[in-house]
Structure 1
Amino acid sequence: MVPIQNLYYLLCYAWNRLPEPGEWQHVAEQEFHRPLELLTQLLLTGTRRLLQKGLPLGYAEREEELAELRGRVLLTPTIRRDLLRRGRAVCAYDELGPNTPLNRLLAGTLDALGRTRRLPAALRQQVRQVRSRFPEDVQPAPLTRAELRAVRRLRLPGPESFLLNVCTLIYRTALPDTDTEGRTRFHDFRRDEALMAGIFERFVRNFYRLEQRRYRVLSETISWQAEADRTEDLALLPSMITDTSLESAERKIILDTKYYNVAFKPHHDRQRLISPHLYQLFAYLQNQAAQTAVPLEGILLYPAATHEADLRYVLGGFPVRVVTLDLNQPWPAISAALLALVQ
């Protein structure tokens, strides 16, 4: 399981946001016992910075009974209340203020964290202190899938997008607590293999985007080198989308990440590589070869598993490596190992 301190690095790279100067050290000096404590600290740090600069403002629709017309007149409630005879009307108008979807989501998430017993008392107190700094007209929104989707549609800039990602991960770790009204339980998302696979994939891709300049880094769709009796049948072929492609003028690497507990599986009392992983990478290489003029090679990258591995093959004329990355070692060693992998 990934140590919580290293989980911080994985999340920062996965969400494409390197910390502010000194933030690495600040987090490294703290001791976290659960991933929720780390996520809460990230949320507090980012929210404090947002409050220092001033919460972002936005236009929100407001309904109010007024003596002067403003915005749109809402006829149904106006007539129902018989306001016209009194020279009044219910109006809906846009008002600029801090009651934005993101600010409401942050307030709601802080409210949920302030109630959970999964956090130490001192950290819950920090949560409540930060929450108390929000203006009274920010109405907290519940931490739900619908609210998260609504905020994500706004395409927020970097720091605000990072906070949205933190809230999303907190939501994905939340479980309803039927025993305690108003509180939420949280599970250790490091045990969620599908969730961690997505984090690991984005971490590796963004690490190479940010930490080296030799290669252009992308995730790309590879076209099948295929023919069919009917053209429309080609659309039924599955998509081939690489996790990470690294391309320079002299070399191209297709790097596929696999977040599995083991890189091998037993077969007749012997350990074997996981065949579908090799087949997938080999299919990528075969179909990509006709579309690139530079030497092509492949890498299967696993987090450190039961067996450490650094295996080298030539499959169908393509160099292929199967490598494990130890995520339990200090971060500088992880960084050095990733850079050495593509040198």
Structure 2
Amino acid sequence: MFFTISVGAAFVQRQWWNFQRQQFSVHEIDAVTTVLGDLFGLLALSAWRKVPLLAVAALISWSVLFAAVISPGSLSVALNETQHTISDLIPQPFFNNSGSFTDFAVFGGAQGQSAIDNFVATTELWQVALSVAVSGQMAVLVMPYRNMTCRYQFYGPVLNCTTVQNVTGFTDGLKAIHQANLTSANYTSWVTGDTLVFDSLRRNTLDSSSNKSTGAGIYVARGNDNGYDGAPALSSNANVTKCRLHNGAYDLAFQFRYPEQNITLLKLDYGAPIGLGLKNVDEKMDWSRIAYAGIMEAFGRLLVGRITDPSPGSMGRSIGTQIIYSTSAISCTETGARLRQHESAWNNSFKTLRSVA
């Protein structure tokens, strides 16, 4: 465009210079002065024989316009990509709801009861986790622009479910807690350590430097589904699955093209397992540990809910009003498949929480 304007300006200057030096008829003057707006002015050959350089300038001016309209691909456009890297703290969702559950422990062979306070998931966290688990995919996010692309790299909790190899140690832990009053249901818990021995519930908090042989976990064991028979239903070949919370590193790519969104997990590294002990559950606890407690409690509710011990004589005794640090009995089928679904639901839930926050 600027080239065409420059040619036109030079044409006008040259045109008036020629008008002063030569004689032109009115028809020739009209053809020369209007040619930049009327292509048919080039048909006045008598005028252009007198000023051939002006004819060339007029042709150049018109050829640029036609090239731009007929073949726009011939005009190259250079795209400059701008990237901004921002280091910021991840907003901390609220996990400040408090709750309590009744602890049915084994003290020297005698069963005792005590109420223990702990932090549980907030309603907002529970709603996000439940909606994502039900839909089986990440929730729709509200972005500031209709079309945008961004990438997040951050640290956060990630759940990893594996098969327990030492089933005997698992059942021994259950016997120590329930005094062998087991049903043929499934059992879950979130405690520090690899086994469910009750003493491990009293351990101090495990931090991000803990090794992979320790840490908190949710345990699910498939029973025989034959009902209570007066003996532990779980055998040494029972199918036991353990889900553990790790301090992972996320790398997510967000692409929004209205009205659709595409969220891709580029990379996920599992870090050290995260644990939480009862000694540190109080108002002075570090906020990051409170967050892990709330997140794990929300996942426990998704997995096993809140139920009571179905064994005879228990009178509906609550084995764990809250899933944290407690043991619950549930009856379900397709345990392994369900655990994998819950693992995926959990990870999607946290990615949604990170984005919403």
TM bracket, shorter-chain basis: under 0.3
Which one has a larger percent helix, Structure 1 or Structure 2?
A: 1
Larger radius of gyration: 2
